Structure formats: C-alpha cells, structure tokens
Chains A and B, each alone.
Chain A
C-alpha cells in the first residue's frame, strides 16, 4: 500500500539555521508528493508540491525535490525564522489528480527560537 515516513520531531532550531526534514514514501506507480504546514490551532496549508521525478517544489524559501531513485521528498530551508514554527506534514496521492485522498506522514513539529 501507500505510505509516508517522515522524521520524528520535535525539531528545535535557532533562527537562521538550516532546516532539513526527511520524508520517504512507498507507493505504486508515480505518486504526487506534497508538503503541508499546520500552524497552531489552524488547518493545513499547502506549502509545495511535485508531480513527477526530479521536479523541485518551492515556496517561501522552502524546497523539496522528488527523488524517485531514493523514494524521497526531503524538505529544506536555508535560513529558518521564528514564524516558521509549525507542524510539517509530508503527503502523497497515488495519482496526479487531486480527486484522491491524501496519505500523510505523522508530522514533524518545528520550533524556531530567536
């Protein structure tokens, strides 16, 4: 079946530090991959996505590259800010269409301190 594994948190970083949150997946075929962010008390917001191998998704300084050979989609940011403190979810859908439910990882809580 389809599954997503991401590194367990919490992750605590100082402001301007480099961030990596690892995510690997198991899926049949060619899934679409996503990173969602959840700020305290809020719903999920799409952070970035990639729909095929070697695609790089990017947004707000965050990046992730779809690596089919390693079945990975690691999230990176060169310099984190306090406002980046949130829970980050890696997710996939087995098809490119959005008309299928998402399979989520367990989430990684990031705390950035000034």
Chain B
C-alpha cells in the first residue's frame, strides 16, 4: 500500500469548512484513497473513499487531484463533534476490507 503524509494537527472554527490534506505521491493506478476518523477512545469510523473522481456523501467530500498524488477531505460545516483524528489510507481494492495500514493521522480540533 502507498505511503501517505498528513499534517499532525489542524484547527477549525465551528461552522466553517475543515479541509484536511493528504499526500500520496507514490499511489498506483489501482489504489483507492480512503478516509477514516477516530473520535477519542473510540474505534475508527469509515468516512468516504474514491479512486480518481471527486466523491461526496452525507459526511464529507473528497477531492482527488488529477494526478492523484494528493487529496483533500472536506467537512463542509464542522461541528465540535467532528473533533477527531483523521486518517488517510491508500490501498488496492474498491472496498477497504479490514486490513488497513494506519499512519498517525491528523488531529482536527474544532473550536467554538
């Protein structure tokens, strides 16, 4: 699985959009980008994934650059409950499966 690089921490004001970047410059053509988040002392939670097109669901939007070497997870209207560690994972397969390689992620803190 390709290695990912994320900033260790970010802050966001409540109600504003949170944009979390991820670099995956060695991504292969058959690897998908997955995002999970982990609220303190809970298990990780799937957010969204994509291959090369932008994706949106009820939780977030995923923007993947045309060269697929980086992506951005967007939480359009962040709330205090979005404070969590966000993990960007790159792996082969349209579904994530349960063998995931987690990095250290980005600690997002949403401030009132």
- Chain B binds chain A: no
